[in-house]
Structure 1
């Protein structure tokens, strides 16, 4: 398959270039979305996709199922499915369709496509999430069964991930064209824009409708730096701004006038500091715990003024569906002052053990990106750690940093996603072989009580080893013009493009 950016281009018209040429919003009914990022962020090749690449892949390719605007699973290539009572078998009935090359979309071809995807995802965290898949069977002409070693209630959400599309031959709901900026515009914007257009209903597995085009519109996706994306929205040149993170949140007006415009996702995931290696002041679990104890999480985020943001000292997001409550928040019986006294004492003991003159403070480096929000976060963390004689600085070389900022939204609402991010096989920082063993055992446990206990033991092991310093939930935000349909905040912070390209009725 040709990469999305290599497809045949059409002439650039005023309507297609509305966000750059100033032709006027909606001159031909387009819906414009500004994406905070670069053109490279929207590349949709391979299995390691950026957030922007996931949007592009989900619009132009299809898997068995997909995620809608609310983050809920809807049919795609599979028109319906059933789950057996024991939760170990998912059976899908495929719609009557063909692949983009004209060959039959049979159960056998879907099985082979799924197997290829699973092989390609080996060595990734998503591959670990999918590891309970034991067998994929082609049962009849249009029926496929996925068998599991242990129940995965959220398997449909996993199968809806853009990396799980099948065949990658343009079998999704939309076509894509890359629009180059005109020479007169290149000083202002150098990135190309992406034009998405719905396919006819028959090519989307839907009944044909003579006036179907009245219900859809073209969608123009414009990658832009944060300040320009916000200006496009303010000037009326964009209906929605996507891709907002903590990096550029300070650029947004979050006062009363922005209510109904600034949309904060109730995202779950990881937002904290990962320990790269057990060395220096981070060589022992008790010393790593000292760093975690010193942080006042609500105070770290207070300058961002995000209503409803939840701090946490847990590695796994609290209150997930089915959470048995076996793991709670840390240091609940200690005040911040008591925690910092303990942390300062441990740091001082470490300093006293160093050869030669005792340093005034421990120095730690943090790999953290650039941006007004991240600069503010770094300063807040540095001010807090200074209270226990730790000097936190930005890492000159991320490859040698002591700590790494992790800011990642979960793919599915299950504790195992969180645990899989710290698997030793990923080689992304300090890990625990014992915790990995508990996770593997859980995938062979059919008793739900035993399974929950093993998952809790894995989280407790990672917590005791202090491989990660949680802060709370990741922050994802968008700007959405009043009255816009096809957008909904959701826990996966995933906002597919096709619903936005539907004309509100």
Structure 2
């Protein structure tokens, strides 16, 4: 081939490669805050970064869109029977990652495998609502439940329930391990899968409307430094622990997006020994926390402080459980708490510092100082320990997977790892799950919350804090109440 022809051919090839995935061949750089190795975690208890990667490469029957809505994935449509006990899904006419067709039988086996992997994990007790999974004619599967669960589709959309066939998922993106030498981060390069391979209508020139993503995980310090320098386009997975780093990194507040989440943000009582053996002593600790001062410290508009186990105002919350100690000032509460602690000491008992476990980070540094000051006011010393160390109290900071009282109550159930629990509360939740009347069901949930409130095994502060950093180049991102930001929408260029 003449030199000129070879040169023209090379130019044409380079032009094709540049245009195959959008106008700009530079991948969008996305970093999730977390241990860099957590991205490839095979543990069923997935870290945040691993959940995002799994959602991008291993779809479930349904998935989340960027706004947190449940949308079709491997199933392109479904119906729910009037009694709420049967969900019938029609699978799309697509292929697994190994190019074999998606069938009812293969999807059934994959879903059963995903469910088995979650036994003993955070989703395990929720998944127990499933009674049977049946492969029906053609590409149809039926999931039957023991009792109705209004948020069942929300549960199925969780990344942990993505379906794997022969060790591979079915998209919507493919991944390849890669590293960026300039920013010194290892991760994965993600590309959208062709529509026809996903069981969707073929679309000519679909590559021109998509772009590649490079997805990594790093510490908050590294992520914020790279974002401030313009080396990465999006930071995901921010929590209160690292929130103060934004200001110290010199990042414009206009780049910050907060997710309007619900969930648990407070202290869990690890054991019922010594001082913590009595619920009134545990209540004394709860009374000592100055939530107004905590709210001022967090200093976020819309942040909700609460003394309740269940975030107020959810669907299914009848409002009969109110905030605690209404009408009592913080001084009055602390006076009562001080008397209880003094009575327990009885002049002879020696109480060592309460060990409080929480992750590192400047936000948690401030939080611990606040808690230590509050408990000092009632005669208790404190000592901070690492998250995996033996502790008396442990910081809980988790976003609700679905917005219903059942999720909150389940986190504190006796079926979990909680050493302090209330069996009466569990029984009331069980009754609520099979109660068809929504008003009676709400009463059961309220009674269960009241029982847990009396137990004082969890000391609530308020709702969790979740944030992201977003540059002008990002599309397909929206704050949502689950703090889950699927990667596939960010690979679609706006038209």
> What is the TM-score normalised by the length of structure 2?
0.90
Aligned position for 2:252 = 258
- 1:215 pairs, out of 184, 187, 209, with 209
Query: Is the Cα–Cα contact under 8 Å of residues 34 and 48 in structure 2 kept in the other structure?
Result: no
SS for the counterpart of 1:388 is coil
Find the aligned partners of 1:102 and 1:140 in 2 and give their Cα distance: 21
- 1:493 pairs, out of 471, 476, 483, with 483
Structure 1 residue runs of 5 or longer lacking an equivalent are 1-25
Query: Is the Cα–Cα contact under 8 Å of residues 125 and 420 in structure 1 kept in the other structure?
Result: no
Find the aligned partners of 1:440 and 1:245 in 2 and give their Cα distance: 32
Cα displacement string for residues 279-305 of structure 1 (whole angstroms, at most 9, x for unaligned residues): 122110000000001111131242232
Aligned position for 1:468 = 458
Find the aligned partners of 1:428 and 1:375 in 2 and give their Cα distance: 26
Deviation of residue 399 (structure 1)?
A: 3.6
- Matching of residue 453 in structure 1 with residue 452 in structure 2: no
Deviation of residue 194 (structure 1)?
A: 1.6
Query: Is the Cα–Cα contact under 8 Å of residues 425 and 451 in structure 2 kept in the other structure?
Result: yes
- Matching of residue 271 in structure 1 with residue 265 in structure 2: yes
Aligned position for 1:198 = 192
Aligned position for 2:313 = 319
- Matching of residue 41 in structure 1 with residue 38 in structure 2: yes
Deviation of residue 116 (structure 1)?
A: 2.3
Q: Alpha carbons of 1:326 and 1:140: their partners in 2 closer, same or farther (altered >3 Å)?
A: farther
Moved more, 84-93 or 59-68: 84-93
Find the aligned partners of 2:103 and 2:372 in 1 and give their Cα distance: 57
Deviation of residue 223 (structure 1)?
A: 2.2
Aligned position for 1:378 = 368
Find the aligned partners of 1:210 and 1:255 in 2 and give their Cα distance: 44
Query: Is the Cα–Cα contact under 8 Å of residues 269 and 409 in structure 1 kept in the other structure?
Result: yes
Q: Alpha carbons of 1:387 and 1:46: their partners in 2 closer, same or farther (altered >3 Å)?
A: closer
Find the aligned partners of 2:262 and 2:34 in 1 and give their Cα distance: 22
1:54-203 alignment runs, 5 A limit: 54-168=51-165, 169-180=168-179, 182=181, 189=184, 191-203=185-197
Find the aligned partners of 1:470 and 1:476 in 2 and give their Cα distance: 17
Moved more, 382-391 or 84-93: 84-93
- Matching of residue 31 in structure 1 with residue 31 in structure 2: no
Aligned position for 2:284 = 290
SS for the counterpart of 1:390 is coil
Deviation of residue 83 (structure 1)?
A: 1.8
Find the aligned partners of 2:376 and 2:51 in 1 and give their Cα distance: 39
Deviation of residue 241 (structure 1)?
A: 0.9
Deviation of residue 483 (structure 1)?
A: 6.0
Q: Alpha carbons of 1:104 and 1:54: their partners in 2 closer, same or farther (altered >3 Å)?
A: same
Q: Alpha carbons of 1:410 and 1:93: their partners in 2 closer, same or farther (altered >3 Å)?
A: same
SS for the counterpart of 2:302 is coil
Q: Alpha carbons of 1:206 and 1:138: their partners in 2 closer, same or farther (altered >3 Å)?
A: same
Cα displacement string for residues 103-150 of structure 1 (whole angstroms, at most 9, x for unaligned residues): 332223222222222222222231111222222222321222222232
Find the aligned partners of 1:369 and 1:276 in 2 and give their Cα distance: 16
SS for the counterpart of 2:430 is helix
Deviation of residue 367 (structure 1)?
A: 0.6
Query: Is the Cα–Cα contact under 8 Å of residues 75 and 90 in structure 2 kept in the other structure?
Result: yes
Q: Alpha carbons of 1:141 and 1:254: their partners in 2 closer, same or farther (altered >3 Å)?
A: farther
- Matching of residue 419 in structure 1 with residue 409 in structure 2: yes
Query: Is the Cα–Cα contact under 8 Å of residues 351 and 362 in structure 1 kept in the other structure?
Result: no
SS for the counterpart of 1:458 is helix
Structure 2 residue runs of 5 or longer lacking an equivalent are 1-22
Find the aligned partners of 1:398 and 1:59 in 2 and give their Cα distance: 30
Find the aligned partners of 2:387 and 2:287 in 1 and give their Cα distance: 26
Aligned position for 2:218 = 224
Find the aligned partners of 2:240 and 2:282 in 1 and give their Cα distance: 25
SS for the counterpart of 1:426 is coil
Moved more, 374-383 or 173-182: 173-182
Q: Alpha carbons of 1:362 and 1:390: their partners in 2 closer, same or farther (altered >3 Å)?
A: farther
Q: Alpha carbons of 1:455 and 1:322: their partners in 2 closer, same or farther (altered >3 Å)?
A: closer
Q: Alpha carbons of 1:148 and 1:450: their partners in 2 closer, same or farther (altered >3 Å)?
A: farther
Find the aligned partners of 1:286 and 1:126 in 2 and give their Cα distance: 31
* Greater than 6 Å deviation, 4+ residue runs: 254-257
Q: Alpha carbons of 1:131 and 1:312: their partners in 2 closer, same or farther (altered >3 Å)?
A: same
Q: Alpha carbons of 1:28 and 1:100: their partners in 2 closer, same or farther (altered >3 Å)?
A: closer
Deviation of residue 180 (structure 1)?
A: 3.6
SS for the counterpart of 2:353 is strand
Cα displacement string for residues 358-398 of structure 1 (whole angstroms, at most 9, x for unaligned residues): x5x76211011111111111001111111111112102684
Cα displacement string for residues 174-230 of structure 1 (whole angstroms, at most 9, x for unaligned residues): 111111455xx6xx73x4122111111112222111210111100011322222211
SS for the counterpart of 1:425 is coil
Find the aligned partners of 2:403 and 2:158 in 1 and give their Cα distance: 13
